[in-house]
Amino acid sequence: MSSKSLGDCASVLLDTGVVIEAIQPKTSTDRQKLVHDILKHLSKTKTKNGLVRRFYISDISLSEIANISTVNNVITKLHPILRVSNLSVVPFDTEIAVWLSNNFADLLNQKVLNRIARESGYPSEKLQMAREWINRDMMIVATGKHYNVDLALTTEKYISAGKTTFWGLSAKAGLFCAPTYKEFFMESHGDDFFPEFNLGNLKPPSLT
């Protein structure tokens, strides 16, 4: 298990679910509150080496939430949480697509995607939709690898008795990923909120 700490992470990719939770006006659930607290902490503090953190959102994520908010609205709603000057919305381009094809080649067929979808708890009538979601997860993970981010934050974790696709794909790609749930973070409740990875629980599922 990696000994990485939150203080080592200078570049952070926000998965779609994290963006959705972050732009909600009220922190009505524990997960929303944790997402807000983690992002605020990462934004207002520097790394152990004194670096100001940079945050990345794939344009694939923005396309997934287009029915919720426009790009400008997303940036505006993130402003109270993140330093917008350190936030980049990045495109899924040809170079990233080539990386995806080379590194996820064993997953890029309908039979394998159907198996992953079933193991993730999707019923047979929703396999086509699930394959699309898994493909988008691949594209977001590949974007994180292209930009060599230190950390990907996601709201996905184990689904029933199955597997989560984003976390598993991140592990396959060698991208360090942390689901934004309390069991994966330890908190210090001193004068300032100071989260840290609970590495003992950060054991990503395998998609193979």
Q: What is the pLDDT of residue 193?
A: 57
pLDDT of residue 1: 43
* Predicted pLDDT at 61: 92
Mean pLDDT of 148-170: 78
The predicted structure's pLDDT at residue 204: 66
53 DSSP assignment: P
Question: Of 201 and 92, which is predicted with more confidence?
Answer: 92
What pTM, to 2 d.p., does this model score?
Answer: 0.87
CA distances from 28 to 6, 33, 113, 153 (A): 25, 7, 34, 20
Is the pLDDT at 141 greater than 90, yes or no?
yes
CA dihedral for 98, 133, 149, 66, sign (positive or negative): positive
Residue 158 banded pLDDT, cuts 50, 70, 90: low
For 74-97, what is the mean pLDDT?
87
Distance separating alpha carbons of residues 195 and 127, to the nearest angstrom: 37
200 has a pLDDT exceeding 80? no
Give CATH superfamily name and number for 8-197. Answer: 5'-nuclease (3.40.50.1010)
Asked if residues 48 and 7 have their Cβ atoms less than 8 Å apart, the reply is yes
Give me 96's structure tokens: 């990233």
Whether 182 has a pLDDT exceeding 50, the answer reads yes
